[in-house]
Structure 1
Amino acid sequence: MKSPKRHGGGVMNRLNLESGDMDKIREEFPITKEFIYFNHGGTGPISLSGVRAVDECINTYLHQAEFDIEEYFRRVDRARSMAAEFIGALPDEITFTHNTSEGIYIALINLPLKEDDEILVMEESFPAVRYVVNHNLPYCRKVYAPFSRRDPLDVVKENFNSRLKAVVVDFVQYLSGEMIEIKRLGDFLKERGIFFVVDAIQALGAVAFNIRDCHVDFLACGAGKWLFGPTGAGFLYVNKESVPLLKKRHVGWLGAQWRSFNDCQKAPPLYPDARMFELGSRNIIGISALSANMNLLLGYGLENVARRISMLKSELRKRFTARGCEILTPEAGFQSGILTVRPREDSRAVYERLKENKVIVSLRSGYLRFSPHFYNTVEEIEKIFEVI
């Protein structure tokens, strides 16, 4: 199947991923000097570009205590535009968060739900979704359904009734790496006035994706994985068409249209869009680093990044298949950056041996989860199998 289409080119004239420039590219990620790092589905290492952005902020706080107001808003606006370009959205459809959970929370508490309305949730979703759903909507009925290796549209149709008001899914399932097809599902939900909420943390940065190719009401993403961090930063896409229907909760003073703080008694109105949900002081350090990391990925081209990750994942699959290992990740369908396997030897023993040899992967539910990024190499894969 075709990959989701990318929204456009990068913003910088960067080195070619398919050329002999990989050594230069890898200099952006000093972790490569110490580790073979195949754990971006767990935590992504920050890039040097991200570090420089952090240093700029720290130096500002060190030497002048705060940003000039014009520079502060320039940074926020630049990062917002970067996040919008990354997914093909408009800047005013982006609100900054601290993590994926916060994004899911903002989405759910703003839905115009009534008592006994239903929310359908992917049973295999990450706890970041399940905890928010379970503990913040006491008046709604939560229905959990398995989506694994099924057409998501079939799952929704099986659970469809007049009380169903929202569907919440993980774009990429964190364990198996299975990526669901959301276009047909989004169209179905839009036609019936059902809100669509997507956790995209395991997709963005590994998958080329354009929000305009499908209908999504909310898409939440933390920075800490495929976007190279830092943790404590993220963003939420809020479809502009959905805003008039929302309750407008989780709003605060910095969700208003301030451009000066000279007279704080004259309170400007809230933004009439996603920006209203930025409750108070922003994590400007994290936002600046996230912006730099997204700029880096856009510069290489999101389709180029996704294509290289797919190549590395295919190389891993081929070698594990040749060794007779169980592979949990589906081969058919849309592809994420994750490959999850159970080796013929005890998984924990292999995990510990890899770790001792400075190969970093995840051990999850008795499986080894490999999640390479674009700067990883086939040579690293060869070294991994020497250890295995």
Structure 2
Amino acid sequence: MAAVQQHQQLLLALLLVLVLLFACGGDSTGAGTARLSGSARLIDDAAAGRWWPPISFHAVVDQQQKTAPAPPPGAGPPTTYTTIVEALTKGAGGRNQSDERKRYVILIKAGRYEETFNITGNNIILVGEGIDHITGNKSNMTSTDTVASATVGAVGDGFVAYNLTIQNTAGPANRQAVALRSKSNKSIVYKCRIEGYEDTLYAENGQQLYVETEIAGTVDFVFGNARAVFHKCSLLVRVPLHGKHNVITAQSCNNTSLDSGFVFQSCHVAADEGHAEKLKSVDTFLGRPHKDFSHVVFMGCDLGDVVNSTGWVPWKKDEVIESVTRTVTYIEFRNYGPGAASDTRRRVNWTGVQVLTEARGDVAKAEKYTADLFIGANQWVPAEIPYERGMPPPPPPPAN
């Protein structure tokens, strides 16, 4: 009996050691790993798509030239730069083509970085400290076209932004002024804030995923031709120019195959902080067709009272093009809140606007817009980045 008890105690001790090693971010090589903001340890298993969060850095951007974080044992120290552009050009830019298949992680220390830049390399990851801003103020009114106005342009594939703010401060009077332009295929924006006014986020092309991210703007502030899913994001409406109306999306699909589109799942639509009172006299719509087959889905979303009861609007507010009302695909399913289509008679009477319901057997039609089916997220998004694998839950019961 004593031998059995001793054996059981040994097994318990071994189990405790394993638990402690996992909690501390240990790995099978014995090399210690630092933790980032209390997140789970890095699992670098490319075949399984599991590598999040990045806990060791290739470069550190620090305006104050503070000490860089200690690298893992056996690894060389990351290089510290004073600007993000330097980290991209001198650090990531020094990689050869084969290295571009590997991730290059840049830690951006807290600060205000007044920089505009394009990220041309593949697999660049920007990790912020949550309170830092990357900021610019280019716009159409400064003789810059819409694409060139972007504060950050992600052109290389596999771009990731985590825990930072990207903003364009040009203001509503300066018209089109992009904060983030992404034509990066298989890109991820996680726990960030993208802030501007008109044309804040240009989701240009490729498969894209936005998770738990705030996007603030006025006119067409999420636009482009990407195949993108927005999960648990906040769409925050701001005050536009006097006499103008707001539009959240201007999606640009222009073919019958609907090979691009925006899906908003379990998102929240509301006034941005400090804008609610003035927005009471401003119409805000879910979307308008930038191209004839514009393709947008809102499902499981909390639509605040900022959303106009008609829901959708023509490209020119008072010029309805009948043919376009038939070719767009605008879908709503399981949304709730004062801006949802609880009374579908108030929505625009367009053939292309569909308010799906369980009662009509529409669940299967909505299901194809989940992240795993619409952008194949389970094939390339790290398992540690949380998003709903399936359908959004049914809406909560109305408040008494």
Report the TM range for the smaller structure's normalisation. under 0.3
TM norm structure 1 = 0.23
Higher normalized contact order (CA 8 Å, seq sep 6+, divided by chain length): 1
Higher strand share goes to which structure? 2
Q: Looking at secondary structure, tell me which structure has more helix per residue.
A: 1
Q: TM-score, normalised by structure 2?
A: 0.22
